[in-house]
Amino acid sequence: MFENQPKGLWALALANTGERFGYYTMLAVFALFLQANFGFATGTASTIYSTFLMLVYFLPVIGGIAADRWGFGRMVTTGIIIMFVGYALLSVPLGGDWLAIAAMGIALLLVSLGTGLFKGNLQVMVGRLYDDPLYANRRDAGFSLFYMAINIGAMFAPTAAIAIMNWAQTDLGISEADSYHFAFGVACASLVVSIAIYYAFRSWFAHVLAGEGKKTEKAQVVDTLTPAETRERIVCLCLVFAVVIFFWMAFHQNGLTLTFFARDYTQTTSTGVQSMMFDVTNLVASIFIVYGLFGLFQSKTGRGRAIAAAICAAAAGYLAWQYTQLSGSVDVYAPIFQQFNPCFVVMLTPVSVSLFSWLAKKGLEPSSPKKIGMGMLVAACGFFIMIGASIGLLLPDAQAEAIADGGEATRVSANWLVSTYLVLTFAELLLSPIGISFVSKVAPPKYAGLMMGLWFASTAIGNFLVQIPGLLWGANVQLTYIWAVLAGICLLSALFIFAILKKLERVA
């Protein structure tokens, strides 16, 4: 799985890991911050949250156009600097008046713009690594590994946010509303690490930036496609972008309605084996076991198998020791559930890559467009789980009132949410890295930056629509109806992809 990949992949992936750690540390608590610090109603918080996500994923369009003109490397560096200023402003506790709201708005714009310059262009650089014939057949696997690596940062983000907020409140006596700013400050530090990695290992990927900034750069872009072929590819990409809109509308409920569900409807304490999954070190140990098992069965040498077996034994021993240390219950904070999606991405990526490699050897690997359609079907299954979890629960307003009154508000097992995140992660692995790979492969060379930007623009529209379930939540709609809307949208999107599958496979 890790063999025969360009070493530039690891440099770019680690640079993105640092940036994603900061972003998801901030995002893990952002919706809760809007309500705790400013007292915004659910609908208002949902609109601000989704608008911010929209900008984060729309501005790569501008970033792609800028990179096509001034160079991808230059835009990546500029993006990190702008993001740093935005996070620094967001980390300043200014209270909850109009000045604080204005400052937050400026900070969010800066973070969005910086991300727009950084994220999409970095991924175009990853795609260019696979233009080398030596690595061309490793493109899908490479993007899956890239996606796995950046999720390592996201996996630790919720724990970091909760830990630093608790430290600020208990050790420094900071109020809950002000403690959120400490979590935002973590993002500043993560960007320093990100840019340091980017420049320390720049020689590993410098060849994909060759000629940038020179007047002859345009002439170096080789495009052998006819106008008709170019048009067909752009049309097919736009059809995929249309489906991506609805996937991200559903998937990014993790920071909104699924977080509200974690806060208001999920048990706030956990005991026994279940409590172990709320300690990120136990999740890391589980990941080591998965990777160790793959190494055990795939290693070609006795030494390799021995190392893999030792890793499995050490990780299993650690988990056993952790189990013996269990005592009483642990508190379960709503943001902590956001660690499960990136954890499952890291854990399941080798499973996904190995499965499709095995199918490819037998000539049975699904095409990239078919994987995207399958991803939409799997996403629908995730929200069917939430429908099951929500049967018989109170309406949002009634639940909030019961909690405020200290009454016996019904709360469900954390296993419902964890299971949902597991299924949605399967969907994500089928759609997101594969979709990015599809764009980098199909996009006409002279429009590479723009097409990757449009991938993020479609994601942006989906993220803006994230607010719709949030508004339904704020309007006191039955929870089962909210999840049914999301499941239905995913099913319809899957049907659309399969209806145009032959057209998409022709250009893939």
DSSP labels for 53-74?
Answer: HHHHHHTHHHHHHHHHHH-HHH
Cβ atoms < 10 Å from Cβ of 163: 15
> What would the two tokens of residue 493 be?
């999107």
**The pLDDT value given to residue 213:** 55
Q: What's the rounded mean pLDDT across residues 209-214? A: 66
Nearest-angstrom CA–CA distance, 477 and 473: 6
Specify burial of residue 344 (Cβ count, 10 A radius: 0-12, 13-18, 19+).
buried
**The pLDDT value given to residue 407:** 67
Q: Which range among 88-102, 236-250, 431-445, 468-482 shows the weakest confidence by mean pLDDT?
A: 431-445
Nearest-angstrom CA–CA distance, 438 and 370: 11
Nearest to 480 by CA among 349, 368, 384, 371: 384
> What would the two tokens of residue 310 be?
């030792």
Contact between 489 and 245 under an 8 Å Cβ cutoff? The reply is no
C-alpha pair distances (Å), 452 with each of 60, 98, 125, 302? 8, 37, 11, 43
Nearest-angstrom CA–CA distance, 380 and 360: 26
Amino acid symbol at 192: V
pLDDT band at 1 (very low <50, low <70, confident <90, very high): low
Q: Please, which residues bridge with residue 412 across strands?
A: 266
Torsion of the alpha carbons at 384, 386, 388 and 392, rounded to the nearest 10: -140
Q: What's the rounded mean pLDDT across residues 34-39? A: 90
φ/ψ region of 173 (left if φ > 0, alpha if ψ in -120 to 50, else beta) reads left
Predicted TM-score (pTM) of the model is: 0.80
Q: What are 245-257's pLDDT values in tens digits?
A: 999 999 989 888 9
Nearest-angstrom CA–CA distance, 153 and 18: 6
Cβ atoms < 10 Å from Cβ of 299: 15
> What would the two tokens of residue 180 be?
């959120």
Amino acid symbol at 301: T
Nearest-angstrom CA–CA distance, 111 and 190: 13
Cα-Cα-Cα-Cα dihedral sign, residues 412, 418, 422, 427: positive
pLDDT band at 212 (very low <50, low <70, confident <90, very high): low
pLDDT of 39 above 80: yes
Contact between 132 and 6 under an 8 Å Cβ cutoff? The reply is yes
Cβ atoms < 10 Å from Cβ of 212: 15
Amino acid symbol at 37: N
